Every structure is written in C-alpha cells, then in structure tokens.
C-alpha cells in the first residue's frame, strides 16, 4: 500500500502511474490542510508521519531535490519503508537497478546495466543509456537524454530536453539548464546552460 507525500502536479502524475500499474494508494500527507489529491485521503502534515503501519510504502512526490532529501532523512529516522512507481509504458533493460523511492514516468527508457539511485525522478520520456550511474535524489526532467556511461552526482537536476554525451560526469548538486548540451564534465554545485553547456554560476 503506497502513501504519497505532497499533492502538487508531480504527485498527480505519480497517482496516474500507480493507477496504471495497479497499486493501491492509502492516502497522502501534505502540510496544507486544504490540500487535495484526486479523491485520496489527506492523512496529515508531513511532520505527523509515523511508522505505525509498517505495510505502508512511502513515495515522496515532491519535485525539489533538496526537499525530497530532507523528507527522506525524516522517513529513515522513523524506520519507514519506501515504495517505487514505474509506469508500465517505461522500458527497463537488463541488469538495471532502480533505487527505493524512485519514480519512472511514461515512455522512459533505461538501458542495460544502468543504475538509478534512491528517490530519483526519471521524468516523462527521459532516456538513460547503458552503464549510466545516477546517484540519489537526481531529477532527469522530461525528454532529457543521457548517452552511455554518463554519471550524474547526487541531487543534480538535468533540465528539460537536455542531452549529455557519453562518459561525461555531472557533479553533485548541479543544474543543467533546459535544452543544455553537455559535452564536458560539469563540477559539483554549479549551474550550466547552453550548447555546449557552460557553467554560469554556483548552485550553493
Ligand atoms: C514536469 C516538469 O515541469 S519538470 C521541470 C522541468 N524544468 C526545467 O528543466 C527547468 C530548468 N531550469 C532552467 O533552465 C533555468 O533557466 C536555470 C535553472 C538554468 C536558471 O535559472 P535561474 O537560476 O533562475 O537563472 P536566470 O533565469 O536568472 O538565468 C541566468 C542567465 O542564464 C540564461 N539561461 C537561463 N536558463 C537558460 C537555458 N536553459 N539555456 C540557456 N541560457 C539560459 C538566462 O537567459 C540568463 O542570462 P543573462 O544573465 O545573459 O540574462
């Protein structure tokens, strides 16, 4: 039984994925007392989460990577278990690892021997090619494409429609702007944009 945390647009898409894959949703937590998420039950504020029902599997349905990490730390302290949501129209190759709490949206392709960390978002129609290594709390935006053997550090955000050529490393906590074309390694905690993507500022 899945429990969602958050009730925004990202959460709505995850509800659709869970419905399409036949998973039951017990309800959702959100800090706004008037929050609505389809016909699901609001279970309380995020600070009210407990591990009283060990059959629950939590998915943090919030797009911001840092917020997701903070809540994941809270869930870990409580001993809560995480669920995953993988759209039935996603294609997952052999020897692919998908970490707990991660969501994979419709029309994604994750190819042979790629590994995806925990609490990642592999957004609509993103592709991750063979042997890529994606650490925890990464967001690959819709239509982002990673060639083979790319590494993405923890908490980085790859913008919508970006491409990363083979064997390049994007550091931790970095952002690649929408439509960026990454052909060189990108350091930790930076924002890079354009074609070819160049660092324009720090992301600390
Ligand atoms: C389902 C969903 O909705 S998933 C969400 C998907 N969303 C995304 O992928 C958003 C990605 N975000 C971006 O591309 C943003 O523009 C960012 C993060 C790169 C930069 O945002 P900010 O930090 O607010 O920077 P800001 O808008 O001030 O831009 C700084 C400079 O970079 C330029 N710039 C910003 N984004 C880009 C871009 N994607 N490509 C090229 N140049 C860019 C701006 O024109 C500006 O240039 P200037 O200084 O010459 O005027």
Nearest Cα to 184, choosing from 200, 204, 164?
164
Question: Which CATH homologous superfamily contains domain 86-202?
Answer: Hexapeptide repeat proteins (2.160.10.10)
Neighbours of 153 (CB within 10 A): 22
- Sorted by where each begins, the domain ranges of the chain are 2-83, 86-202
Report CA(173)–ligand 1 centroid distance (Å): 16
Task: Select 2-83's CATH number: 3.30.2290.10, 3.40.50.20, 3.20.20.10, 3.40.630.30.
Answer: 3.40.50.20
Report CA(100)–ligand 1 centroid distance (Å): 29
pLDDT tens for the chain, residues 1 to 204: 999 999 999 999 999 999 999 999 999 999 999 999 999 999 999 999 999 999 999 999 999 999 999 999 999 999 999 999 999 999 999 999 999 999 999 999 999 999 999 999 999 999 999 999 999 999 999 999 999 999 999 999 999 999 999 999 999 999 999 999 999 999 999 999 999 999 999 998
Q: Assign residue 176 a region (left: φ > 0; alpha: ψ between -120 and 50; beta: otherwise).
A: beta
Report CA(159)–ligand 1 centroid distance (Å): 9
Catalytic residues: 130
According to DSSP, the residues that pair with 56 across neighbouring strands are: none
Query: How far is it, in rounded angstroms, from Cα 166 to Cα 130?
Result: 10
For ligand 1, residues with CB inside 6 Å are 123, 141-142, 159-160, 175, 177-179, 191, 193-194, 200
Nearest CA to ligand 1 atom 9: 159
What DSSP assignment string belongs to the chain? -EEEE--SHHHHHHHHHHHHTT--EEEEE-SSTT---TTPPEEE-GGG--SS-TT-EEEE----HHHHHHHHHHHHHHTPEE--EE-TT-EE-TT-EE-TT-EE-TT-EE-TT-EE-TT-EE-TT-EE-TT-EE-TT-EE-TT-EE-TT-EE-TT-EE-TT-EE-TT-EE-TT-EE-TT-EE-S-B-TTEEEETTTTEEEEE--
Same fold, 2-83 and 86-202: no
Q: Residues 6 or more apart from 11 whose CB is under 8 A from it?
A: 4, 28, 37, 61, 62
Q: What is the ipTM of this complex?
A: 0.98
Q: Which atom belonging to ligand 1 lies closest to the Cα atom of 159? A: 9
Query: How far is it, in rounded angstroms, from Cα 6 to Cα 121?
Result: 14
């Amino acid at each position: 039984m899945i429990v969602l945390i958050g009730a925004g647009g990202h959460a709505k898409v995850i509800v659709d994925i869970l419905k399409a894959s036949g998973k039951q949703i017990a309800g959702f937590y959100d800090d706004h007392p008037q929050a609505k998420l389809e016909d699901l039950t609001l279970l309380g504020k995020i600070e009210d989460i407990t591990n009283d029902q060990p059959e629950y599997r939590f998915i943090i349905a919030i797009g911001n990577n840092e917020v997701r990490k903070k809540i994941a730390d809270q869930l870990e302290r409580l001993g809560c278990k995480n669920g995953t949501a993988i759209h039935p129209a996603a294609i997952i190759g052999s020897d692919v690892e998908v970490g707990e709490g991660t969501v994979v949206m419709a029309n994604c392709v994750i190819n042979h021997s790629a590994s995806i960390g925990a609490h990642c978002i592999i957004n609509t129609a993103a592709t991750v090619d063979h042997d890529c290594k994606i650490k925890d709390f990464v967001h690959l935006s819709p239509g982002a494409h990673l060639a083979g053997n790319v590494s993405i550090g923890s908490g980085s955000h790859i913008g919508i429609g970006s491409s990363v050529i083979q064997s390049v490393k994007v550091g931790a906590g970095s952002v690649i702007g929408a439509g960026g074309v990454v052909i060189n390694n990108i350091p930790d905690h930076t924002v890079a944009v354009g074609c070819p993507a160049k660092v324009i500022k720090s992301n600390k």
